[in-house]
Amino acid sequence: MSSGDASPPSEKTRLRRYNWLAKYDRDTINAIIDAGMVCQVAYVMDGMPYVTPTNHWRIDDHVYWHGSSASRMLTTQQKGVPVCFSVTHMDGVVISRAAFNHNVNFRSVMAFGNAEMCDEEHKRFALQTFVDRLAPGLWDHARKPTEQEWKATKVIRLKLDEVSGKVRTGAPIDDEEDYLSDAWAGVIPLKLIQLPPEPDPKLREGIEMPEFAKRFRYGF
Amino acid sequence: MSSGDASPPSEKTRLRRYNWLAKYDRDTINAIIDAGMVCQVAYVMDGMPYVTPTNHWRIDDHVYWHGSSASRMLTTQQKGVPVCFSVTHMDGVVISRAAFNHNVNFRSVMAFGNAEMCDEEHKRFALQTFVDRLAPGLWDHARKPTEQEWKATKVIRLKLDEVSGKVRTGAPIDDEEDYLSDAWAGVIPLKLIQLPPEPDPKLREGIEMPEFAKRFRYGF
């Protein structure tokens, strides 16, 4: 079994289980990260594991997340502690001819490294980039943050050095002899879709839906 | 601001940020856990944080996950180490009249506790339950595990004692004065849907799609 494209950047990111699903090329990894905006960030506090779902975005070789300046998670992470960043997309349920071979189709990325708090200037740049990637034009459309709101927000980033991807697609893979069985096998694909924008019921009369909302596409 | 229904089971699970989104009632928490089968489990190994996406299912007051007996994650967890279990569903992007108030709609659950490896008997019961919840009838349809396959699989569980949920739904919430602005605001709902089952191209001729596949509904 081949261990995917390119090489693992470190022993820690080398996939041990199902290593034939591994993806180490940066384009594949970036596409998985950019396909959504929900990640999970794990960190250790007082020796205990924590994992927090949060929104992320990527700028070049860094992933970013943000939150309240008073957040316990960010206050811990801003010290530069080790974190484990994870993104997962569930793409389907794979039903095999043998119970042992049922599986799921998915795309995931895992990255290790030390969290880094962004300074004020970079924080403002990064948040504006986040908003404008989410919906091009949105940064100029909505009211920009006050100084107090800027102060209330922290941005943390992680350099994508130790990073690996994992992708499973396609049909079940059964043991040779099971292909002769009468059992059905196949995939039930799953897909995250967006529904039409729902204007805020409190919207003032006469405010039309702007282009950025009409053209909104989830995933960067 | 109210802190949701019921009370937090412990200080660790009391939501500090956005505590008005907290849900501590077990029905809400169970529904969030059962709505999907992808969780993230964080744990500490050699002082470092790890978070692994994996498939989960719930039986009463425990959540379960499984994997290869040789898995580094499960070998660590079977010692009964502390874990942090997290499930997150992304339900929409909330666009507000002010950049500071953009948000997302989501449902999430976080649970803390010590992992517990299931003994052989409970492992077999739990995996059968998993498969039959996924698609009722599937356990009897496909070939059951051989003794070697059983040996190759471990099941870990976590008791849902220290657990909390967090739910955001609905329209943007803006500052009072921003409601007078000309900015558009609203929600772009996101939804995980399933597409029609795709039979394995290697399926033998004459094998019809069984009821469990036709009736498949993602989420337990």
Question: Given phi > 0 = left and psi -120 to 50 = alpha, else beta, which region is A153?
Answer: beta
pLDDT exceeds 90 at position A220: no
Count how many domains chain B has: 1
Between chains, do A131 and B200 touch, taking CB under 8 Å as contact? no
Nearest CA in chain B to A176: B202
Between CA A90 and CA B31 the distance in angstroms is: 18
Helix (H, G, I), strand (E, B) or coil at B139: helix
Residue B66 lies in a domain: yes
Residue A110 lies in a domain: yes
pLDDT exceeds 80 at position A80: yes
Closest residue to A42, CB basis, from B50, B138, B181: B50
Per DSSP, helices labelled H in chain A are 26-34, 72-77, 120-134, 138-141, 147-151, 211-214
Give B130-171 pLDDT, tens digit per residue.
999 999 999 999 999 999 999 999 999 999 999 999 999 999
Residue B62 lies in a domain: yes
Chain B CB within 8 Å of residue A54 CB? no
Work out the minimum CA distance from B34 to partner chain A, whole angstroms. 15
Count of CA atoms in the C-beta half-sphere (13 A) of B196: 2
Residue B9 lies in a domain: no
Cβ-based contacts of A217 with chain B (< 8 Å): none
Between CA B151 and CA A173 the distance in angstroms is: 20
ipTM of the complex: 0.93
For residue B36, give the amino acid letter. G
Work out the minimum CA distance from B79 to partner chain A, whole angstroms. 15
Distances (CA, A) of B84 to A158, B161, B179, B196: 21, 12, 39, 34
Between chains, do A185 and B193 touch, taking CB under 8 Å as contact? no
The pLDDT value recorded for residue B11 is 77
pLDDT beneath 50: ranges in chain B: 1-4
Q: Give the predicted TM-score (pTM) of the model.
A: 0.93
Nearest CA in chain B to A212: B184
E strand spans, A37-185? 38-45, 48-59, 62-68, 82-95, 103-114, 116-117, 153-159, 162-168
* Proportion of chain A above pLDDT 90, given as a percent: 88
Between CA A191 and CA B193 the distance in angstroms is: 5
Number of Cβ within 10 Å of residue B138's Cβ equals 23
Residue A130 lies in a domain: yes
Query: Which token pair is B17?
Result: 């940020």
The pLDDT value recorded for residue B14 is 78
Count of CA atoms in the C-beta half-sphere (13 A) of B184: 21
Work out the minimum CA distance from A60 to partner chain B, whole angstroms. 23
Residue B197 lies in a domain: yes
**pLDDT confidence band for A214 (50 / 70 / 90):** very high
The CATH number of the domain where A139 resides is what?
Answer: 2.30.110.10
Average pLDDT, whole number, for chain A? 93
Residues 6+ apart with CB under 8 A from A99: B127, B131, B138, B139, B142, B143, B144, B145, B149
Give A25-55 pLDDT, tens digit per residue.
999 999 999 999 999 999 999 999 999 999 9
Residues 6+ apart with CB under 8 A from A14: A3, A8, A22, A164
Query: Which token pair is B110?
Result: 């976080």
Number of Cβ within 10 Å of residue A156's Cβ equals 27
Burial A74-113 (b: 16+ CB within 10 A, else e): bebbbeeebbbbbbbbbbbbbbbbbbbbbbbbbbbbbbbb
Residue A98 lies in a domain: yes
Mean pLDDT of A109-131: 97
Closest residue to B143, CB basis, from A97, A189, A201: A97
Cβ-based contacts of B86 with chain A (< 8 Å): 40, 51-53
Residue A85 lies in a domain: yes
For residue B41, give the amino acid letter. V
Closest residue to B195, CB basis, from A17, A143, A191: A191
Between chains, do A204 and B96 touch, taking CB under 8 Å as contact? no
Nearest CA in chain A to B171: A200
Strand partners, B190: A194
The size of the A-B interface in CB pairs under 8 A is 289
Range of the domain at A63: 11-173+182-214
> Which residue, chain included where needed, has tokens 């089971």?
B9
Between chains, do A90 and B202 touch, taking CB under 8 Å as contact? no
